[in-house]
Chains A and B, each alone.
Chain A
Amino acid sequence: MDLAFPRRLSPMTVSRDVLQRLAAGDPAALAEFYDRYAPLVNAIALRILRAAADAEDVVQEVFLQAWRQADRFDPGRGTPEAWLCTIARTRSLDRLRRRSSRREDPEQVAPAPANAPRNVEALAVREALQGLSLDQRRALELAYYEGLTQTEIAARLDEPLGTIKTRIRTAMLRLREALGPLTP
């Protein structure tokens, strides 16, 4: 009885193949890579910047960077999705800080409606986040999507610093436990 799916149906295996082709300079891989991940990268940039034009600038930067550095991607350190998430968050937070230092306040866009998760990993992350208490999730999101430090979060929420530290730490430990060892 051989019920095993072909290897290429595993979402992570698929992503890695595209990345290898991208690093090898296959032009079709760029379009495929973009089509697969642009919604994720754009969602992160939009969540952080809350302005469509700024978010699209970041999407462009992220894909140019990923494209230039595809050959440096190390599968041992995580999935391509995780790699892109990290680049997208870093670049979005950089832009957010530049923007706030110029005191610009762009037109805000409404958060996207929740739709179906993309794959097993996304489903697991969403369930794990829903497993946190509202307070834990709020503190975690201020750190993750607004780039605030523990002291800034404590001030924003008007809570003692020790409470915030514990809340974020507990949230991260619970996520870690719920997601299990995140396999590359």
Chain B
Amino acid sequence: MTEDLFLELAPLQALGALDAEDRVRFEGHVGSCVACAAELRAHERVAAVIALGLPGVRPSPALRRRLIAGQGGQGSPAAAARAPLPWFGALAAAASLVLAVSLGVVRNQRDGARREAASARAEAERAVAALTAAERDLAEAQAFRALVQRGSSRIATLAGLSPALGAHARVVFDPATREAVLVASGLAPAPPSKTYEAWVIASGAPEPAGVFRPDAQGRAVLRLPLVEGTRAAKTFAVTLEPEAGSSAPTGPMVLAGAAS
């Protein structure tokens, strides 16, 4: 069997659809062939997500009770094997309590009442700020979910361009409301004094749609501003721009894809 024929078997093998004879031959070959192994892995990844397209069906509440009540509260067996002995945990907890109390006493003696009041105020401000941020995050998360689930939403898949071939992104957008969210991954950190900028391209010039920085894992989720082009978007793109952002693209294009 030639190399081409083996490569052609990879998608069928990934689905488990090869007949016994072909399967044995393919399995015998793939261990020593880098190209076929890579092709098989790529198709296995596709096969693994096919079922994601199914609408979810919640099982009966009885099953949940059985499973959670039967296993919960004991921690996972995987973790149990690694957990320290109970007495060690208790001892460590007692020791840290003693340490915390002593530190607290020392600090209280050192700090005056005024400083305590200031720190309580700062604490309260931090709590209010955290609460506000959490509320905003929640509202954004709900808006994002609503957009994904809306029937009128469309999706564009953006491929990484040289030199960001490993990058990948999707834009979910609703032409009617102009709402759009970009989800990118595999992005390198932007070079010093540069930033990533998103663009919406309809019939005219590209419209700037926000600058962003990927996180440490190279991922970014960006809610695009409501730009006019989203109503008739043909292409979404991302370029590298000077830190302040540009009003028209000047730098290299790193991601681009057509609206479906």
Interface of A toward B, CB cutoff 8 Å: 1-10, 13, 22-27, 30-31, 34-35, 38-40, 42-44, 46-47, 52, 55-56, 59-60, 63-64, 67-72, 78-79, 81-83, 85-86, 88-89, 93, 112-129, 140, 143-144, 147-151, 153, 165, 168-169, 172-173, 175-176, 178-183
Contact = CB atoms under 8 A, between A and B. Distances in A.
A149 B18 contact: yes
B174 to A, nearest CB: 12
A30 B57 CA distance: 19
A67 B71 contact: yes
A127 B53 CA distance: 8
Nearest to B244: A1
Interface of B: 8, 11-12, 14-19, 42-43, 45-60, 63-64, 66-68, 71-80, 83, 137, 140-141, 144-145, 148-149, 153, 155, 157, 159-160, 166, 168, 170, 172, 181, 183, 185-186, 210-213, 215, 217, 219-225, 245, 260
B17 A23 contact: no
Nearest to A40: B56
Contacts of B168: 180-181, 183
A116 B54 CA distance: 10
Given A13-B219, A70-B76, A85-B49, A124 B55 contact: no
Contacts of A10: 183, 219, 221
A126 B79 CA distance: 36
A3 B148 contact: no
B14 A25 contact: no
A24 B76 CA distance: 7
Nearest to B74: A27
5 contacts: A1-B211, A7-B221, A25-B76, A115-B56, A182-B46
Given A39-B56, A117-B148, A168-B17, 15 more contacts: A5-B140, A27-B75, A44-B51, A60-B63, A68-B76, A82-B45, A89-B51, A112-B55, A140-B15, A143-B17, A169-B11, A172-B46, A176-B42, A182-B45, A182-B46
Contact of A42 (B8, B58, B212, B221): B58
Contacts of A150: 12, 17-19
A26 to B, nearest CB: 7
A46 to B, nearest CB: 6
Contact of A114 (B55, B170, B181): B55
